Structure 1
Amino acid sequence: MRLTYYVNRLQSLRPDRSSGRAKPHKVCMMFAVIELIEQGHIQENKIYYDDALKRRFSWHFMRLKQDNDTDSPFLPFFHLKSSGLWHLKVLKENVAEFDAMRSATDTKIRKLVDYAYLDEQLFKYLNNPSTASVLRNALTANLDTLEDQYDRWAKSIGKSEKTIKNYVGALKNSIPNWLNDAGITKQSLLSISSYYEYETIVNKTFKLTEFVAKDKQGKGMYSAAINSYRAFLSDITQVSVKQDIDDIILDSTISETQKSVMVNTRIGQGRFREDLISHWKGCAVTQYQNYSFLIASHIKPWSKSENDERLDPFNGLLLLANIDKAFDLGYISFNENGRILISEHLEEFQILGIHSNMKIALADQHQDYLAYHREQQFKQ
């Protein structure tokens, strides 16, 4: 089959819309599989329902879930078979029981199914970085519109309704009008799902005389809108993670064993995550202990760290997704005593469950990393 066939099929996975909007389970499962292929965890066309798959599913699910969506990886593992692209290898002795099954549970999947597998041609495309990127972008069409996704994302990092409305207006109307006048594009920037396509258009936008003048008049609001949507696209496509993994793989100074450790660390799995779980015993801030909801986050960013710092558990916090996102974007940090610092730029932070009494228990080894975060990442 041609690539366009699989693009079209992945754009129409028929997610559960019983609640009136698309639930993200199937998309999150496919995102998890793509990343585990990139990591090398899945090397042949056999997708086991193991802890690595469930952890990566949960990571994406925490970014895309809404309201009362439940973290249930067994549901898409079972129901993706309706796509015609995803197939289940049922244990021979359990075929009759599986055929009678109408809904899935974690226990049933582990008991009845050996592994899932994809169309062979699709699996080959997902092993090619260039075609995998195209297919990853195609998956987002199953969710709500990019505008709806951006709206949820912006709210998740504490942006107010007023700020989001201003940004959406700039990205849908004002900036596209200036680009159209310049003969560059007519499309809304909120319709662009490719990070690289967006970067190409944005680079031209910043050079427009009209944009420069209006942005100055608007005290940087239009630039802020562009940068906000850029951060959103970077987040949902994980472009920086993919680039970091490529850099690791191509680095001839790192042994193959070390590369495997570092790739696992970069995508939030492996030894680094286990070390953080061992140290923090739960969320560093709230002490919440369901590890499938917790993210292994670097204090000094991966891109700024030396190789030994990237693997150092004292350069890490184990955090709930909402707190991790605020910390990663520099909207919160912690002082020398572990007390939370909340940036004045984080609007309506209480909605995120963040409050000024929060505190973490620090070891001496955390101090240099947090000093870097306060000085270089925290939005003063």
Structure 2
Amino acid sequence: MFISSTEDLIDNIFTLHNYRDTEYHEFYNGMIKNGVVYIALKHNGEFYFAPSRFAGYKNNNADSHINSYEKDGGETNREISKLMGKERIDQVLEEEYKKYCERNGIVPSNKSRRYWPLIEGPYLREKSMVKDISEIIRNILSFDNGLFSALADVYSRLLYASSTLVVLKYDKDYFFAPSTYVAYMNLDKIDSLWTDTIQHKETDKVISKILEQEFITNHLLDAKYKQYLAVSKLRANNKNLSYCYLDVEEDLGITDITINSVEQTERESKIKARVGQIKYRSALIAMWQKCSVTGFQNVELLRASHIKPWRDCDNVERLDPNNGLLLIPNLDLLFDRGYISFDGDGRILISSLLSIDSRRKMGLHSNMNVILNERQKKYMMYHVEEIFRP
């Protein structure tokens, strides 16, 4: 009978490992030395290995394995693949396999080996998770560096497997990283192997809370992601992707953002304000994806415009994405100065202070409108009553 769960695999791995100091030590040595496809288990910081032809049979042991002529590594490979996906050549795990052999007095064969990585228990969940926007940015850039390192195959595999991505736009460049990688602090090259074993719902929740936005589908980011993959010569998968988005303009200073503690109160306040701007603009772009009124799609040229002005807001309202429109520059200026607003149905209101000629030159017309949800309508009511100049 074949294994049916990762728990079955783990039991077999430790069963084999425990033979090393028993009368079955030669059996153990042969299994570890001569395998081709292995389960690689990380437990309490240590690696353990077992070939699929032993690990793939439920409740396997040395006696039953030795006395059976029907046990076949090809069959166990197929069964384990149903549970773990396709095995892979992996230089990191190959190095750990050789270290394991050395620790246990085994000389490995010269065969080419393949692996399934397996994690037991809450190993990554015990690691610290990100707590602020600076750590998210640092992890996205770290992941991008990994795509062009000696471990590029590890990082590209993680990207290919992910369905939820965190996107950083810095200056004119876009960077993409899986939420399962971004959510953890100080991952090393070994840790990175295991992030594709984590359920993304847990990591998505952490990132969404910090960025104050949900992971959503975004066709514009789909296009940017395809460009990113093409330039980086990475393959695309056919999954439906969802994103959290961070827009960091060059003049915000990414160096300042990555500082976690400062002595000067004034500088600390400045950094917090910059982070607030990043989160607010990013949330508006994620929400609207284009100009709220005209549909213009080049978000690099759009302005994040508060409906209820910053000066009149409390701290919650200032960062509420429902208190904002994404506008082309001329509409942003007109809206900010009260020359235009929108009624309860989202139809444009144009100030009588603007002449017909001015309206024409500014591209205004009476058919303009915006689609507002209930929370946005409440903010817009304030704009009409307090800011608009009828």
Shared fold, TM over 0.5: no
Q: Which has the higher strand share?
A: 2
* TM-score, with length taken from structure 2: 0.32
For CA contacts below 8 A with separation 6 or more, give which structure has more relative contact order. 1
Higher helix share: 1
TM-score by length of 1: 0.33
* Structure of higher CA gyration radius: 2
